[in-house]
Structures are given as structure tokens and as C-alpha cells.
Amino acid sequence: MQREKVIELLRKYLPDGYEDMICNWLFEHPIHFKIVNPRSTKLGDFRPGLNGKKSQITVNGNLNKYSFLITTVHEFAHYFVFRNHGLKIQPHGSEWKNEYRSLILQLINKKKLPKDIEIALMNSLINTKASSCSDIQLNRALKNYNLTKNKAILLEEIAFGTSFWLSGKLMIKGQLRRKRYLCDEINTNKKYLVHQLAEIKPHEKK
């Protein structure tokens, strides 16, 4: 695909000013980059190229532009670490954290990010998490830019003991355990640890 067409495509998913950087990486490195349908278990994915095959990065296409950018950087950090160290290291070990921090600094230095995201990213450099979902401050900042933010209600926003729907399950909000609430599924009495920033649907009692 021609560079101009790649730039045009990336503009639909990335904040202004970052399409050139991502495009450069795509043209400079032998990698398959795919924008895919939403997955409930992950925002992006990296698969190393083995036996002569290209590495592959996939990113969910329903992310807001800042989440898409940071997820893409997260997965490219995996690629660069794989290229330099192979598979004999931890997926989110010190090598990945150092690479990810270096790439995040490139984003920040462009001075094109909203202030709340810039601050959250700066803080993330101190204690880098394995994903943006694990970083409460960053996750909260990114959710501010969701296209459906006016419709989304977070688990942390409802009261203790309130019932809600999540992934087709009717649950009751319980006590907070670090970053997750211990919730009971009403129909089965099973207990689930649900992230405090999970998007839920309130249960409208008749």
C-alpha cells in the first residue's frame, strides 16, 4: 500500500500529528498491522514472526484515538523488544518497560496530547503497568475521550449493593479489593472481581 493511503487510513484512528510516526514504523519494519473488530479480552495484540514469517500487531478498531495510539505504541514496544532480545524474556519485563517508556516519551515530546493524558502518561513512566487498563489514572483519562462516554457508566460510579448488568450477567456491587470490586452474580451466586472502571449497565427495576 502506498504511504499516502496508509497515512489517510491512520488519520481515521489516530490523533492529529501522530500518523507520520506510526506510518514510519510500519514502512521501516517488516510487520503486519491489522485493525480488527473489538475484542472483550484485549485492546491490542502482538505475535512474533517466526520461521521467516512477519510479526503481527492487531489493534481494536473501536478505540478512541488516544487509546488507539497508546495501544499501538504498547504493541510496537513488544515488537522492538522481540527484534532486539528474542523470546527469552518476560513479556512485560524490564526490557519491555524501558522500550515502552522510550516510545511514550516520543509521544509526549510532540506536545500534541491533551493535558490530562500527558500527565497520566508522565506518571505512568514512574510505575509502568502491563496495560493501560491496569493504570487507573491513565485508564480514567483515556475514557474521557470515548465517543460513547455520555452513555457509559463505570462500576465505581454506582453505590455499594446496586445491581447492574455486565456481559449478560446480572450482578450486585460488593466491596472494593484494591482495583476491583467483589461482585455477586444474582442467578448463580458466583463471585467475580470486576475492575472499578468496567463499563456497566444499571439494572432498571420494574
pTM above the 0.75 mark? yes
Provide the strand spans (E) within 87-172.
Answer: 153-154, 163-166, 169-172
φ, ψ at 6 (rounded to 5°)? -65, -45
**152 falls in which pLDDT band (50, 70, 90)?**
low
Give pLDDT, residue 71.
Answer: 96
Is the pLDDT confidence value at 179 over 90? no
**What confidence tier does 73 reach under pLDDT thresholds 50, 70, 90?**
very high
Long-range contacts of 14-18 (CB under 8 A, 24+ apart): 14/65, 14/68, 14/69, 14/72, 15/65, 15/66, 15/69, 15/112, 15/113, 16/112, 17/110, 17/112, 18/69, 18/107, 18/110, 18/112
Burial of 178 (0-12, 13-18, 19+ CB in 10 A): exposed
Buried b (16+ CB within 10 A) or exposed e, 144-165: ebbeeeeeeeebbebeeeebbe
Which residues, at least 6 apart from 83, have a Cβ–Cβ distance to it below 8 Å?
Answer: 29
- Indicate whether 195 pLDDT > 90: no
1: exposed, middle or buried (Cβ count in 10 Å: 0-12, 13-18, 19+) = exposed
User: Residue 114 pLDDT more than 60?
Assistant: yes
Mean pLDDT throughout 149-163?
A: 81
For residues 132-159, average pLDDT: 79
Beta-strand ranges (E) seen in 94-148 are none
| More confident of the two residues 130 and 151 | 130
Contact predicate 165/203, CB 8 Å: yes
Cross-strand pairs, 19:
none
Mean pLDDT of 114-124: 94
pLDDT one-digit tens code per residue, 76-86: 999 999 999 99
Res. 51 pLDDT band, cuts 50 70 90: confident
pLDDT exceeds cutoff 80 at 160:
yes
Give Cα 69 distance to the centre of its chain.
9
**Backbone phi, psi, residue 27, to 5°:** -85, -25
Mode of pairing for the β-strands spanning 163-166 and 169-172: antiparallel
